[in-house]
Structure 1
Amino acid sequence: MKTEKGNYEMFHHQYLHILKNEEGKLLQALNIHTNIQHLTMENAYTVLVSGIGNRKDFHQMHYNMEQKNIPHEVLSKSETEILGFIAKGYSASEISKILNISFYTVRTHRKNILKKTIPKIPRSL
């Protein structure tokens, strides 16, 4: 993250939903940024996303910064729209009702989003 002094430092980012309305839509979130520059000077280029409460989500993504020609627009318009709802905490059935599309179409888009955004791990690992 770029600091007010203009240099880049390592931060740990946490995001928690703290208020939802009766329909379960997010109204308020808490974002916590903790400077961890003193712990390490080396960026592991790893993102970890995990659910809390009754959610059991867990995704760990590694980014190889030596890769060239990384596509900037890998997701389709529909996938991008659905990803926005996923980021807001909506389930596949809720998304299908909002967009008036099949639950199975939403599941297919979610699978495609994962295929396109999670790097392939070599079989030798």
Structure 2
Amino acid sequence: MKTVTTDNAPAAIGPYSQATSAGNMLFISGQISLDPKTGAVVGDTVETQAEKAIHNLIAIVRDAGFLVTDIAKVTVYIRDMGKFTEFNEVYARELSGHRPARAVVEVSALPKGVLVELDAICVKE
């Protein structure tokens, strides 16, 4: 296994890595809407936070040598399932039609008080 790090996504805020690659697979830790340079939360709506979290996730995917189309599974943690539609609009736009398997789970709290977090698994064919 190999630890993956990139300056194009926020550094881990705990004892974990941004991602780990193992063979043809990439396991990406939860990404939230942090600015990679400042560590500050970006946005105050589900839409703006989802967009930044997805950009962070995609930066890790690409910098690890994978493609967006290699994303096989995404788990989404959202603080308000009532914002599911708004989240989906951003998600569909940012993934440009790619449709990996996905689960969406409503949670009571997320790191730094954000509204959404995503993790993912990628597989190179």
TM-score (norm 2): 0.26
Structure with greater contact order relative to length (CA < 8 Å, sep ≥ 6):
2
Report the structure number with the largest CA radius of gyration.
1
TM-score by length of 1: 0.26
